[in-house]
Amino acid sequence: MEIVKDLPEVFEDFAEQRKNSFLAVKELKDRGVPVVGSYCTYFPQEIAMAMGAATVSLCSTSDETILEAEKDLPKNLCPLIKSSYGFAKTDKCPYFYFSDVVVGETTCDGKKKMYEYMAQFKDVFVMELPNSQSEAALTLWKGEILRLKAYLEQKFGVTITDEAVREAVKLNNRVRRSLKGLYDVMRHDPAPITGYDLFKVLYGSGFKFDKSAIPPEVDALTAKIEAEYAQGKMLTRRPRILITGCPIGGATEKVIRAVEDNGGVVVAYENCTGAKAHDQMIDEDAPDIYDAIARRYLAIGCSVMTPNPNRLELLGRLIDEFRVDGVLEMTLQACHTYNVESLAIHRFVSDQKHLPYINVETDYSQIDVGQLNTRIAAFLEML
């Protein structure tokens, strides 16, 4: 699709994609298209795509339903889990409502127990995710991918062929390459666009059900940004910040705004919204396509892995390639794996990359916006 709109309009189109797709998911259901919901980057989308299903992220990032969730769940639980469960329980999320099945994964204890309760009112399939990246773990994870394939075949009365899986892999790789090409524009110094505009596209593209439409749209956007940069349209030089840590979206976009409202620019996202989701491709030509899928997804450097060298490898690469001036880690309250691992990230950034580091802990409320602005402004001044 040729982009004729100005860049601000294009960014806003992507920002509105999640809301705009509420009707689209109903239309899919009306046409009999299966919808598979998920909560994690580890979900091997290609298996569901191979049977013609639409896939959608169900993570909720608002405090709107947390009070309802706290009737069943502890108050001192991760807000992402409480919000996700609350929207599911109250049927206020159209994506959850129209999902035929939810695919969960054993990333953390909170999610595992959430899936138990959720299974009382929704079909839930939980994949046993290993918490290490050994060869034994790979064998287990490949078995889980094949178990998911068998479950979907039985539930929907279909046959998922190896050829269809390989085609889904090729399509998703094209999407990943396009999104990588987009966020690579932030290697320019000064940056061509704000990190918030970049985030709108990365986040919004996850809610486009026609995945084949994503690469041409994103590639055209990338070309437009590069062309305008060549004409001298760019930001002024600002401190270049990398954001790592928990998933960002919805209420936690306040962290991005705090950086950019106070004179910085977010040039890289290491977390699930950014490079972590798109950095690695699946080997399309592997003799065993299920082994290739398992290797790619298991290699994701999430804090649930122990040890977790892949996160440090990606983080270090992004710091160097995007010429980062400082690293901001956002952790959600009661997200124990990321909170505990923040010490290792601090040591890596400070001792090995010799860069300033700040950790901000937050939730989905807006009561800490003033404090966030104060702390992040002081961090940027130090740079």
- Tell me the CA distances in angstroms from 25 to 87, 208, 210, one per residue in order: 16, 10, 11
* CATH fold group of domain 7-160: Rossmann fold (3.40.50)
In angstroms, the CA 60 to CA 357 distance is: 28
pLDDT tens-digit series, residues 253-311: 999 999 999 999 999 999 998 999 999 999 999 999 999 999 999 999 999 999 999 99
In the structure, what pLDDT confidence band is assigned to residue 5 with cuts at 50, 70 and 90?
confident
Tokens standing for residue 172: 């998703």
Domain ranges within the chain, ordered by starting residue: 7-160
Higher pLDDT, 5 or 191: 191
Contact (Cβ atoms closer than 8 angstroms) between residue 364 and residue 59: no
Mark 122-147 as b/e (b = at least 16 C-beta within 10 Å): bebbbbebbeebeeebbebbbebbee
In angstroms, the CA 299 to CA 280 distance is: 8
pLDDT tens-digit series, residues 119-139: 999 999 999 999 999 999 999
pLDDT tens-digit series, residues 202-218: 999 999 999 999 999 99
Phi, psi for 239 (deg, rounded to 5) = -55, 130
Which pLDDT value is given to residue 202?
97
Q: What percent of the chain has pLDDT over 90?
A: 97
Place of tokens 């060298």: 309
